[in-house]
């Protein structure tokens, strides 16, 4: 069985015990979307990037999100990230300042292998992007996430998995192994059906074992994250962001409430074997951690988040991210926050509360907006780097 090491999740300490949170001190982009070359030197303060639409603000946040495992905040193909008029490759380099000192982290794709991500940590190649999860945690909010509570469950699973990854860097691996095994099982079933045969039972059984192991680890990680987040929410001071009530709905998740992980692995494995005929007919696996859902309710109103107003949904979402960031910081795991166009849609009280929380927790938040006035409250407490392309001078 795959260990979901909850002992790694340290007990809470007070926020003021945290001497330094992880932050970027330099960010260099080459051939990344509209940034042919960008080189930003950043100090400890929150970062505000202001400017018109299409300037490349979200692209900068996306680049930072790629310094963690996964496909970043747009879930885009690497081929789409490479500058259109470039050679097909791109690179993102960052100097990351941690309590232990500075580290150099780089990622990107080469022109001749546009779907294979290269990762280098302090000049040494890492075998996969998972290694990045051990260095930096990032949480983000983007305008797309305004639909989180009304979108299909997959969006909420991805959201929860991002919160889980901040607590356990192995979480992404469990998800990747599960998805891969499930895709192979689906493919075997579809191919056999097309040929009028049955899939090789030994092969299917092997894949189901993998699905059971990784799927239970994935679900256990989600459950542990939910419990942690609920604790963080309960411990958060009162403020203008409503407290959400959270629940996780899913087959394996509910089994984990009643039985230890090893037993649930066997149960899930048996369940998959019994469901073969049904999955064979459907051409895909119908039940498992890939169908789980995160149910969110507006606490004070006791109403499903999906029924709340757009503004209330946004406030709930920000409240969740801030509670998680606050809890992580208290546990010495402070994340980098990427807040794309978040300030624009908040009233003055909530905007001030957001800024004050970021300053209070000493987090490096990267915030974007089209209007600098929105960030006046931050004054000199933030920095405002320019991301305009460098002027080309002749001679």
Shortest separation between residue 345's beta carbon and Mg ion, angstroms: 13
Cβ proximity to ligand ADP: between 87 and 281 the closer is 87
Contacts of 60 (CB under 8 A, 6+ apart): 27, 29, 35, 38, 40, 49, 366, 368, 387
Q: Is residue 47 classed as helix, strand or coil in its secondary structure?
A: strand
Closest by CA position to 9, among listed 139, 171, 131, 126: 171
Cβ proximity to ligand ADP: between 1 and 110 the closer is 110
By CB under 5 A, tell whether 58 contacts Mg ion. yes
Could you tell which of ligand ADP, Mg ion, none binds residue 54, using a CB distance below 5 to 8 A set by kind?
ligand ADP
Closest residue to Mg ion: CB criterion: 58
Could you tell which of ligand ADP, Mg ion, none binds residue 34, using a CB distance below 5 to 8 A set by kind?
ligand ADP
- According to DSSP, the β-strands at 90-98 and 23-32 are antiparallel
Q: Which stretch binds Mg ion (CB under 5 A): 49-57, 170-178, 247-255, 305-313?
A: 49-57
Shortest separation between residue 159's beta carbon and ligand ADP, angstroms: 21
One-letter-per-residue 3-state SS of 293-306: EEEEEECCCCEEHH
Shortest separation between residue 87's beta carbon and ligand ADP, angstroms: 12
Distance CA 182, CA 205 (A): 11
Could you tell which of ligand ADP, Mg ion, none binds residue 393, using a CB distance below 5 to 8 A set by kind?
none
Task: Find the binding residues for Mg ion in span 303-322 (CB under 5 A).
Answer: none
Shortest separation between residue 48's beta carbon and ligand ADP, angstroms: 13
Closest by CA position to 150, among listed 356, 310, 330, 374: 310
Distance CA 51, CA 141 (A): 18
Shortest separation between residue 58's beta carbon and Mg ion, angstroms: 3
Could you tell which of Mg ion, ligand ADP, none binds residue 33, using a CB distance below 5 to 8 A set by kind?
ligand ADP
Cβ atoms of 281 and 190 closer than 8 Å: no
Could you tell which of ligand ADP, Mg ion, none binds residue 83, using a CB distance below 5 to 8 A set by kind?
ligand ADP
Cβ proximity to Mg ion: between 62 and 213 the closer is 62
Distance CA 187, CA 194 (A): 10
Cβ proximity to ligand ADP: between 81 and 148 the closer is 81
Shortest separation between residue 157's beta carbon and Mg ion, angstroms: 24
Shortest separation between residue 381's beta carbon and ligand ADP, angstroms: 23
Cβ proximity to ligand ADP: between 4 and 58 the closer is 58
Distance CA 261, CA 265 (A): 6
Shortest separation between residue 78's beta carbon and ligand ADP, angstroms: 10
The site that binds Mg ion (CB under 5 A) totals a number of residues, namely 2
Q: Is residue 176 classed as helix, strand or coil in its secondary structure?
A: helix
By CB under 5 A, tell whether 59 contacts Mg ion. no
- For the chain, how many residues are written? 395
Binding site for ligand ADP (CB under 6 A): 33-34, 53-59, 80, 82-84
Q: Is residue 189 classed as helix, strand or coil in its secondary structure?
A: helix
Could you tell which of ligand ADP, Mg ion, none binds residue 17, using a CB distance below 5 to 8 A set by kind?
none
Could you tell which of Mg ion, ligand ADP, none binds residue 84, using a CB distance below 5 to 8 A set by kind?
ligand ADP
Q: Which stretch binds Mg ion (CB under 5 A): 52-60, 233-241, 311-319, 387-395?
A: 52-60
Compose the 84-123 pattern: x for residues touching Mg ion by CB under 5 A, - for all others.
Answer: ----------------------------------------
Q: What is the DSSP string of 210-273?
A: HHHHHHHHHHHHHHHHHHHHHHHHHHSPP-SSPPEEEEEE-HHHHHHHHS-HHHHHHHHHHHHH
Cβ proximity to ligand ADP: between 83 and 261 the closer is 83
Closest by CA position to 306, among listed 141, 152, 136: 152
Distance CA 50, CA 363 (A): 19
- Assigned token pair, 45: 């303060």
Which residues contact Mg ion (rule: CB under 5 A)? Answer: 57-58
């Amino acid at each position: 069985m795959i260990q979901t090491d909850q002992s790694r999740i340290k007990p809470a300490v007070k926020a003021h015990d945290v001497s330094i949170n992880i932050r970027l001190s330099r960010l260099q982009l080459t051939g990344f979307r509209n940034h042919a070359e960008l080189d930003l030197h950043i100090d400890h303060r929150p970062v505000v990037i202001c400017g018109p639409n299409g300037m490349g603000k979200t692209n900068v946040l996306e680049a930072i999100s790629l310094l963690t495992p996964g496909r970043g905040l747009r879930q885009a193909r690497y081929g789409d990230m490479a500058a259109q008029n470039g050679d097909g490759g791109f690179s993102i380099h960052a100097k990351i300042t941690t309590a232990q000192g500075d580290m150099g982290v780089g990622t990107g794709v080469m022109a001749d292998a546009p779907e294979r991500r290269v990762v280098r940590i302090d000049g040494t190649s890492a075998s996969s992007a998972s290694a990045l999860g051990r260095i930096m945690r990032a949480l983000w909010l983007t305008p797309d996430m305004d639909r989180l509570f009304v979108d299909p469950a997959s969006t909420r699973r991805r959201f929860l998995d991002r919160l889980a990854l901040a607590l356990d860097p192995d979480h992404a691996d469990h998800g990747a192994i599960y998805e891969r095994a499930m895709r192979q099982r689906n493919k075997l079933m579809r191919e056999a059906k097309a040929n009028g045969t049955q899939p090789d039972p030994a092969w299917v059984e092997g894949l189901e074992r993998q699905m059971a192991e990784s799927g239970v680890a994935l679900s256990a990680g989600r459950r542990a994250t939910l419990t942690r987040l609920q604790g963080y929410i309960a411990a958060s001071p009162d403020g203008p962001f409503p407290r959400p009530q959270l629940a996780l709905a899913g087959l394996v998740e509910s089994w984990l409430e009643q039985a230890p992980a090893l037993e649930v692995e066997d149960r899930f494995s048996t369940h998959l074997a019994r469901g073969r005929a049904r999955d064979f007919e459907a051409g895909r696996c119908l039940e498992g951690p890939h169908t789980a859902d995160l149910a969110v309710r507006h606490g004070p109103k006791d109403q499903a988040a999906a029924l709340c107003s757009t503004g209330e949904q946004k406030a709930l979402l920000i409240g969740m991210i801030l509670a998680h960031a606050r809890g992580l910081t208290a546990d010495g795991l402070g994340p980098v926050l990427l807040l794309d166009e978040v300030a624009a849609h908040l009233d003055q009280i909530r905007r001030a509360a957001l800024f004050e929380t970021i300053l209070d927790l000493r987090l490096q938040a990267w915030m974007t907006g089209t209007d600098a006035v929105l960030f006046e409250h931050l004054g000199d407490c933030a920095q405002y780097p320019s991301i305009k392309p460098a002027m080309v001078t002749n001679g």
